[in-house]
Chains A and B, each alone.
Chain A
Amino acid sequence: AQTVTQSQPEMSVQEAETVTLSCTYDTSENNYYLFWYKQPPSRQMILVIRQEAYKQQNATENRFSVNFQKAAKSFSLKISDSQLGDTAMYFCAFMRGYGGSQGNLIFGKGTKLSVKP
Chain B
Amino acid sequence: SQTIHQWPATLVQPVGSPLSLECTVEGTSNPNLYWYRQAAGRGLQLLFYSVGIGQISSEVPQNLSASRPQDRQFILSSKKLLLSDSGFYLCAWSVGTGDEQFFGPGTRLTVL
Contacts and interface: CB of A to CB of B under 8 A. Distances in A.
B32 A103 contact: yes
- Which of B90, B97, B106 has the largest count of A CB atoms less than 10 A from its CB? B97
Nearest to A109: B43
Contacts of A105: 34, 36, 44, 46, 101
Among A42, A47, A104, residue most surrounded by chain B Cβ atoms (within 10 Å): A104
Nearest to B103: A45
Interface residues of A, number: 25
Interface string A80-117: 00000000000100010110011111111110000000
A95 B32 CA distance: 14
B9 to A, nearest CB: 10
Contacts, number: 58
Nearest to A6: B43
A61 to B, nearest CB: 12
B49 interface: yes
Given A43-B106, A44-B105, A44-B106, A103 B43 contact: no
A108 B105 contact: no
B97 A107 contact: no
Contacts of B32: 103
A110 B49 contact: no
Given A97-B98, A105-B34, A110-B43, 19 more contacts: A43-B106, A43-B108, A45-B92, A45-B103, A46-B103, A47-B101, A47-B102, A91-B43, A102-B97, A103-B34, A103-B99, A104-B34, A104-B46, A104-B59, A105-B44, A105-B101, A107-B44, A109-B42, A110-B42
